[in-house]
A and B are shown apart, each in its own frame.
Chain A
Amino acid sequence: MRFLALLCVGAVLWGQTTFQEQAQRLMNIQSYLLDLRPATAPEIVDHFQIEAILDLYPQPDVNARIGNKEEALDPPSWVPKLRFRGFFRNGLMIGGAWAPGIDFQDYRAEFIALELGYRRVFQSWTTSVRASYSDGEIEGAITDPDFEDLFQYKNSGLDISVGHYFGRAHVYGFVGWNETDNQLDIALDGVHLEGDDGTYYGGLGVQIPWNRWRFNLEQNATDTYLRNLILSASYRFGRKP
């Protein structure tokens, strides 16, 4: 096919990628990893409960090469996040996480994340629809170890979940769509990168309850660029049923 194209015109664009595409992809991955994404099992409650959740993200290896340059980005191998959810007996769920400015490994990050969902039982199936939004920024050595760059992101997501109990194990799956809007200011050269993109995401998970505790394992994936594992442990506050 390329040979035929060569016969027709003098110049043919082929091959793989540009630095803009590489930069956009890297920003998308970081935006997603920094998000409030775990769906967790769409459990239904019969009285109001508040849940404190600690998520652990094993960070995947990130090939941070752009053009001929290896970006300095060096995230920690495990990232913990603390968030809260409130469950209402009518099926509503609200959640949020907020970090006013935390320092880790010479990076400074702040973010806010919100989610709103509705859950319902259909016979033996649990279901959920959820909208989420997150907005954050990170300052630190992203492109060069000697300079502090600024990365900003916004994510808006909408997903549905379906779950089923197998014994005590609540197994679930989910699919959704995420819109990402991100920007990177590179201190070294004064370059400003920005872009918006969208991706399907989905995953499978299992939640194991133990008294007021919930232990959750979730395999999360976007359609093209990321597979990530999320481990969560949560504790429910509220009166015992």
Chain B
Amino acid sequence: MMRLTLLLLLGLAVACSKTDTLGDEPPREVAISGQPTYENGVGELLKLKCGYCHVVPASDLSPDNIVTDLDLNQYETRLAGTQVVRGADSIGRWIKEGILDHGVNAFYNSADARQMPLDYGTPLTQAEKDALVAWSAVGSPKNSAVDPTGDKNNGAGPYFTYCVQCHDQGQGTFYGEQYYGAPIRRASITTAKVKSMWLYRVSQLDPAPNGYSLQPLDDQTAADIKAFMLDLSLLED
């Protein structure tokens, strides 16, 4: 009996209980070389660390109170029936307002957003955050293609119809301490961003004034509006 007891004690001494939960593992990183664009790393990054929740229609992983019109698995803001689904081309200002570091409630009539990614999501590395901030600062481009040249005279009409009410001369407008329309950063004006905001704005107006309808803006008109905006007097640098 003594030998058996010793055998059991020996077994206990060498036995172990431990787990490998991956809890100490660093987050996966999307390394981006060169200028970040949606097609150069940012899209992959957004899909990996944002798009599992921010998808339309919402996934099982999407929190109950998530915005329902944001899909970060695509670049362009698009129409789904009569619903405007914002894409990655719409998030530049949120990044500028610091949503990667803290919650943001800077926008009037918009849900207060928590810091992204949420605590239990896959964290962004510092290099990834830097890439997203750099991408936002240059207008959240899809790729390195140059925007078409526009005629600012043709852009004035659409701008004064749809944009000036909120963005004024580029300095934005405020409702209390929140943006009614955010200031416009000169370096961030791109035709893609104009097209994204246009669709979003037109969807808020019913009926659309001046014969405009809820349709995506064509590239040339977007370029015209961009050309006009670059001449605004109070743009943010």
Contacts and interface: CB of A to CB of B under 8 A. Distances in A.
B25 A22 contact: yes
Given A13-B28, A192-B60, A206-B8, A63 B123 contact: no
Interface string B15-56: 111111111111111111110000011001100110010000
A19 B20 contact: no
Nearest to A231: B12
A21 B26 CA distance: 12
B122 interface: yes
A190 B64 contact: yes
A63 B119 CA distance: 16
Contacts of B14: 219
| Interface secondary structure of A, over-half rule | mixed
Contact of A67 (B12, B63, B121): B121
Contact of B119 (A10, A25, A67): A67
B22 A25 contact: yes
A194 B16 CA distance: 29
A163 to B, nearest CB: 15
Given A10-B33, A11-B31, A15-B26, A206 B11 contact: yes
A1 interface: no
A18 interface: yes
Contacts of A18: 27-28, 48-49, 122
Given A67-B121, A68-B119, A219-B11, A14 B28 contact: yes
A27 B41 CA distance: 31
Contacts of B52: 20
B232 interface: no
A173 to B, nearest CB: 13
A158 B81 CA distance: 50
B208 interface: no
B146 interface: no
A65 interface: yes
A18 B120 CA distance: 10
A105 interface: no
A208 interface: yes
A229 B15 contact: yes
Given A66-B120, A206-B8, A217-B8, A193 B61 contact: yes
B33 A6 contact: yes
A60 B8 contact: no
A188 to B, nearest CB: 8
Nearest to A63: B23
B33 A11 contact: yes
B19 to A, nearest CB: 5
Contacts of A217: 8, 11-12, 15
Contact of B32 (A11, A16, A59): A11
A21 B22 contact: yes
Interface stretch (A106-114, A130-138, A220-228): A220-228
Nearest to B28: A15
A11 B118 CA distance: 24
Given A11-B41, A19-B122, A226-B20, A189 B28 contact: no
Given A13-B44, A14-B29, A20-B52, 7 more contacts: A15-B29, A71-B120, A191-B61, A208-B7, A219-B11, A219-B16, A228-B17
13 contacts: A13-B30, A13-B48, A14-B28, A17-B28, A18-B28, A18-B48, A22-B23, A29-B21, A64-B23, A168-B4, A190-B64, A219-B14, A229-B17
Interface of A: 2, 6, 10-23, 25-26, 29, 58-69, 71, 143, 167-169, 189-194, 206, 208, 215, 217, 219, 224-229
